[in-house]
Amino acid sequence: MADAARERVLVRKVADLDAAVTEALDFLEQDFRGLRVWVKPNLLGSHHPDEGVTTDPGVIAACVRELRNRSARAVFVGDNPGGGLTAPLSDFVAVTGAVEASDGSFTDVSLRTTTLKLESRFVPRVAVSALLNEVDLILNLPVFKTHALTILTGAVKNLFGVIPGRQKTLLHAKARSAVEFAELMVDIYQALPVPVLSVVDALRGMDGPSGPSNGRVLRIGRLITGRNPVAVDAVMAMMAGTKPDRIPTIRIAANRGLGPDRLDGIEVTGDSTPIPGFRLPTMLVANLGTFLSGAAYTATASRPVLAPDRCTRCGRCATGCPVEAITLAPTPVIAFRNCISCYCCVEFCPERALSVRRGIRGLLRRMSGR
């Protein structure tokens, strides 16, 4: 998938969004004429755009418009949210603004599935949206934000959304540590049958230990664009204040020759200066996870913690837990001996009643001065 040549990434400050998206698509040097394009935003759940969780509807609308202007044969906008759906997809994600922004191109990608074979030590195949086999390329629109498990959720991680339904959650039980899960993310990216071009929505960003749905929203005001998702993620990591090879998905992808994990392998155009004060989740044990697995990883992992006053007892956390570690009594009670620290419950809680509490990871991080 990756070119041997230096990868190019554009970081564009956004004053006029339409102009910025036009420049981003120009930068990709892709002839879209006659192509069927899956515009793949991050539609994690029912979140208002101001929450910084989902792709800004303005970015989606501008991409759809540009693709039509560039004579794409068909444009489909869709994503598979994190947990199970509680309503038809278009209703479930209506509050994100994505359906309206799609201007008739919104597609319920959860309805039809096909099988994607993987070269993976975790699972031999996954069910994916059938649309994957019906398009010529993916225009990937991740959001610039942290992820409690994978540290950042960027271009490679956003492609996990080709998988519909609860299967995504259950895969956490197959690849339990942060590094194992990152490896599975790369397995899926590597198996995709079509090219992936990425425009990261960094108009807003989200930082902190409880991403991708419960963090501090920041105004960043940039788009990050590139043909290689690993290179795009590497620039994103640098802007978030860390070395790319400290992000497991980037490191693993680079080891497979899928992209660079060093900035000297990337030609960056524009303003990629780090975002002042950007707070990443703890990384030390996530990276030590290369050597830790199973019980050792579980023992050192951070834990979800409940703010009972915010909890509406809706039960989405319990339904979404891949190892059934949560019971409602009537608010959630977590059996930590079973918890694998996947943070799905934190991700799926619509009330931000769950967050990540640092365990030994946090202690080690503070000791290491990071």
Binding residues for ligand SF4, rule: CB under 6 A, are 304, 306, 311-317, 321, 323, 325-326, 332, 334, 339-345, 349, 351, 353-354
CB of 278 to ligand SF4, least distance (A): 24
Name, in order, each residue with C-beta under 8 angstroms of 19's C-beta and a sequence gap of 6 or more: none
Judged by CB, which is closer to ligand SF4: 269, or 338? 338
Pairwise CA distance, residues 107 & 98, whole Å? 11
Are 226 and 232 a contacting pair, CB within 8 Å? yes
Judged by CB, which is closer to ligand SF4: 172, or 222? 172
CB of 301 to ligand SF4, least distance (A): 9
Judged by CB, which is closer to ligand SF4: 113, or 169? 169
CB of 347 to ligand SF4, least distance (A): 8
CB count in 10 Å sphere of residue 29: 9
Pairwise CA distance, residues 141 & 198, whole Å? 6
CB of 354 to ligand SF4, least distance (A): 5
Q: Residue 62: name the closest of 134, 137, 155, 141 by CA.
A: 141
Q: Residue 320: name the closest of 342, 298, 353, 352 by CA.
A: 342
Judged by CB, which is closer to ligand SF4: 132, or 342? 342
Return the residue matching tokens 């540290």: 151
Pairwise CA distance, residues 20 & 223, whole Å? 8
CB of 140 to ligand SF4, least distance (A): 26
CB of 250 to ligand SF4, least distance (A): 23
Q: Residue 169: name the closest of 266, 96, 242, 80 by CA.
A: 80
Return the residue matching tokens 């201007």: 103
CB of 208 to ligand SF4, least distance (A): 16
Are 77 and 60 a contacting pair, CB within 8 Å? yes
Judged by CB, which is closer to ligand SF4: 210, or 341? 341
Q: CA end-to-end span of the chain, whole Å?
A: 33
Judged by CB, which is closer to ligand SF4: 17, or 311? 311
What are the structure tokens assigned to 159, written together?
């492609």
Are 105 and 78 a contacting pair, CB within 8 Å? no
Q: Could you give the count of Cα atoms lying within 13 Å of 299 in the half-sphere of its Cβ? A: 5
Measured in whole angstroms, how far is the alpha carbon of residue 234 from the centre of its chain? 14
Check residue 253 and report its DSSP letter: H
Judged by CB, which is closer to ligand SF4: 22, or 167? 167
CB of 337 to ligand SF4, least distance (A): 11
Judged by CB, which is closer to ligand SF4: 11, or 349? 349
CB of 336 to ligand SF4, least distance (A): 8
Name, in order, each residue with C-beta under 8 angstroms of 264's C-beta and a sequence gap of 6 or more: none
Residues recorded for the chain = 370
Judged by CB, which is closer to ligand SF4: 139, or 339? 339
